[in-house]
Copies of this chain bind each other. A is one copy, B any other.
Amino acid sequence: MTDTNAVRSGTGTPETGCPATLNFMTEHVTLKDVAAHAGVSRTTASYVVTGEGRVSQKTRERVAASMKELGYVYNRGAASLRTQRSSTIGVVVTNIASPFFGELLVGLEDELRAAGFLSLIVATGDDPARQEQIITELREHQIAGLAVVPASGSPKELLDTIAASRVPHVFMTRYLEGEPVPYVGPDDVEGGRLAAQHLLEHGCQTLAYLGGRDVVLSRRDRLDGVRSAVHSARLDKDAVIDVPGDATGESGLDAGERLLAAGPLPDGVICHSDSVAFGFYRALRNHGVPTDSVRLIGYDDIRGAALFEPTLTSIATHPEELGRAAGRKLLTALGVTEPAGTELIETFAPELVVRGSCGCGG
């Protein structure tokens, strides 16, 4: 009977295409009810609820009492419709479960909350198609702003789409080439350089970079940093072994296995994340190779890095701070905060945290 192809984008399951399943809400206590109960007009009740307008203290209290008594709940949707303003922020990340993004979200959310915004957090699973779907959906929810960690392999048009939507936005941790956009992320070139330099200073002749997806820009940047350090140390270019994968522990295990199978180990290893390092060490142990036979540096300095055996030397990127900075940048883009810095693109210098795994007496 009903025609099948609804056009509204965000509804229905992506898989089945069946119509969105919505749920009935319960009957509401509205401002009108409150006003009637308190014996004032809707206007006055509204003034009380927003704190605007001229209302006597007496009336204010009476209305507040009515609200409490009736169990009134403010309807932001309706208010938003009328005022054309919104206080929700769309937050798009690739993966909520990763420790790095987890900590980043904590910082971001906290900063936004403090300014009165609520974060709509959604994960893309690093899939550009799903990411696009999600961003449209968020726009349908009348978000005031957007904070995005772009899925790797995001098309350039993503930038145009977002720019065209005129929603204030900030990109995080993964930089997309194209028009310059507000961006907050770690300085990955510097991070790679820092790690490589440290290993080279301690006599490493060959460096392997393990894990991380090939398409991810942060990985390429770090490798650039590594190569520049190798160059400065007057070592040959192919002193750098490149083993892509992804950012998980399993990937590190896998990379380790492949490295072991390929012949003698490099004497220096840089891992795309601390989790990758954990996996790499597991591979060594599975093969009875002592863990101190390589100097290793992890990345991100997640909570567990200091507890592992060996304790992990790592490049700290301070994800929570990064999230805070992104939050602040978005707030200025929204116009609620005075611009702190004038820079559109803000990169944070990473920090080498020396512990045991690099073998220089931690």
Contacts and interface: CB of A to CB of B under 8 A. Distances in A.
B55 A3 contact: yes
A340 interface: no
Interface string A208-246: 000000000000000000000000000000000000000
Nearest to A51: B6
A342 interface: no
A69 interface: no
A282 B355 CA distance: 13
A327 interface: no
Contacts of A2: 51-52
B74 A8 contact: yes
Nearest to A97: B102
Identical chains in the assembly: 2
A309 B307 contact: no
Interface string A13-53: 11100011111111010000000000000000000111110
B120 A118 contact: yes
Given A48-B7, A109-B122, A249-B303, A80 B83 contact: no
Nearest to A120: B120
A116 B118 CA distance: 21
A140 to B, nearest CB: 5
For A57, A74, A248, A335, which residue has the most chain B Cβ atoms within 10 angstroms? A74
Contacts of A4: 51
A115 interface: yes
B86 A81 contact: no
Contact of A99 (B26, B97, B136, B164): B97
A109 B95 CA distance: 11
Interface stretch (A175-183, A198-206, A261-269, A273-281): A273-281
13 contacts: A6-B49, A8-B51, A13-B113, A13-B116, A24-B85, A24-B335, A76-B141, A118-B122, A121-B121, A249-B303, A249-B307, A278-B304, A285-B309
State the 8 A-B residue pairs at the shortest beta-carbon distance, nearest first: A6-B51, A97-B102, A20-B116, A21-B336, A22-B85, A77-B77, A23-B144, A26-B166
